[in-house]
Copies of this chain bind each other. A is one copy, B any other.
């Protein structure tokens, strides 16, 4: 094993659109086991997620901002290189949260051994926080009733594509919104949405109004901005809006103004709730059981957008905001 490894540092807060200038790759010495409970892992798969953009800013957010001058951190799937005196064996797959680095030393308690009967990357999406976010958001805050109409924005994204499918499995009629005709056809044909609307199309607002002429009972919102402005015109009475993300706004130096959405809520006696899944851990066991069961039965399609190589890590993160991805963005840092 090498003496040195690469680590990605956060070096400068972005103002507006985040660029490579926010990051720096540094070489540093390999971390070493220092206590009885320590484990050395190599990073095989790294998750890059839109919420991380919020942590790059110093403003009020739901997670603490990343510290300038410290390594980036995130959810990872790795392999044990040296289990030390712990119960973990070399070669075992583990899940955890650590630095954007090739290797990391963590206490055994910070690692979760993965079920070898499942593909390891599922811990980063359908059977991880992504799947939990879609399931808990939709069930706890959407409170779906049989045969209701669900609209999902960023429906080709990691959380959105699962929200579409979970909605369908729960018996809802599901509409997706995404950027581009290809994504829309994929959402209809592969994810089973009733219809998908391309927000880049010039007639988006009209197409949405026609398609949603029976109204919206649940809106699972990942994007905010003008897409949300349009969806909010079509609420049914007592609709529920699940605010999961507002990716359209994350990179704006000056947020765009919005229609008066509280008027929509009043007129429709509707409810909008922002949530982060980490605050609802009591829901996790039941949610994971259900997600696993659906996944094993082949009822949840998962699209992975995997880029290979440590060098691609920063670009994979930046790509989240260009709308190019479909499904879950993952960096494969080492050979699996």
Bound-state CA distance A76–B271 (Å) is 31
Within 8 A of B (CB), among A249-275: 249, 255-275
Bound-state CA distance A276–B264 (Å) is 13
A255-B260, A260-B258 known; A268 vs B62 contact (CB < 8 Å)? yes
Count copies of this chain in the complex: 2
A246 within 8 A of B: yes
Q: Are B246 and A62 in contact (CB under 8 A)?
A: no
Residues in chain B near residue A257, CB distance under 8 A: 257-260
Bound-state CA distance A291–B1 (Å) is 75
Q: Name the residue in A61, A221, A237, A243 with the highest tally of chain B Cβ atoms < 10 Å from its Cβ.
A: A243
Q: Are B228 and A262 in contact (CB under 8 A)?
A: yes
How many chain A residues have a CB neighbour from B under 8 Å? 38
A279 within 8 A of B: yes
Q: Are A273 and B265 in contact (CB under 8 A)?
A: yes
Nearest residue, chain B, Cβ from A275: B269
Residues in chain B near residue A265, CB distance under 8 A: 243, 272-274
A210 within 8 A of B: no
- In the complex, given contacts A246-B262, A267-B274, A269-B273, what are 20 additional A-B residue pairs having Cβ atoms less than 8 angstroms apart? A54-B267, A60-B268, A61-B267, A62-B266, A62-B267, A62-B268, A224-B263, A225-B260, A243-B265, A249-B263, A255-B259, A256-B260, A258-B260, A258-B261, A266-B274, A266-B275, A268-B274, A269-B276, A269-B279, A272-B272
Residues in A lying within 8 Å of B, measured CB to CB: 54, 60-62, 221, 224-225, 228, 237, 241, 243-246, 249, 255-276, 279
16 contacts between A and B (CB under 8 A): A62-B266, A62-B267, A221-B262, A224-B262, A255-B259, A255-B263, A256-B260, A257-B257, A262-B272, A265-B273, A265-B274, A268-B274, A269-B273, A270-B274, A271-B271, A272-B272
